[in-house]
Amino acid sequence: MPFADEHFIGREQELAHLNELFQGSNKVALTGLGGVGKTRLAMRYAYLQKQRYAFILWLSASSKASLDDSLSQHADKLNADPLLKQAEKISFVRAWLEQHKDWLLILDNADNDKEINAKVLQEFLPVSPQGHILFTTQISTADLKFNAAVLEIKCLETEAGGKFL
């Protein structure tokens, strides 16, 4: 995870709704305009749920290259053979996700339709996940693209926004 956000304000309803969505689905997409707080909400959720999950993996999904780099780094952390090529590391992570349970996989900034498409996601997402996958994206049709439940994130309420500032 990037870091724990000690100055997180508001979003209690969204956090509760995210918990509810994960009761009925293993994939949830946080959607909304850029800068509205999707990444911060994902970080906060992961931080609050760290006891629930045995593993939390954070991937940058802003481009195919950043996703491949993130997957390679996680393969190294998951004790993959350091001599594996990048494609082999991606396969390693997929196999690891299929063999383990109680994990949270966060794909942050999955906005690039041209580079982060269904084919790319199929290369590493487990066929039968035993954990939860959380996307942050500006794509309004995330339910179709990621086959995920959607939680739309809007601007902070006035009071919470004032406290944040």
Percent of the chain with pLDDT over 90: 57
* Cα–Cα distance for residue pair 146/29, rounded to 1 Å: 8
CB 150 within 8 A of CB 14: no
Closest CA to 135 of 110, 160, 100, 163: 110
* Cα–Cα distance for residue pair 8/81, rounded to 1 Å: 38
Model confidence at 161, in pLDDT bands (50, 70, 90)? very low
pLDDT of 160 reads: 47
pLDDT higher than 60, residue 164: no
pLDDT of 141 reads: 83
pLDDT higher than 80, residue 8: no
Which residue has tokens 């802003």? 62
Model confidence at 45, in pLDDT bands (50, 70, 90)? very high
Domain ranges of the chain: 12-164
Mean pLDDT of the 2-19 span:
74
Which CATH superfamily groups domain 12-164?
P-loop containing nucleotide triphosphate hydrolases (3.40.50.300)
Residue 37 backbone zone (phi > 0: left; psi -120 to 50: alpha; other: beta): left
Q: What are phi and psi of 104, to 5 degrees?
A: -120, 125
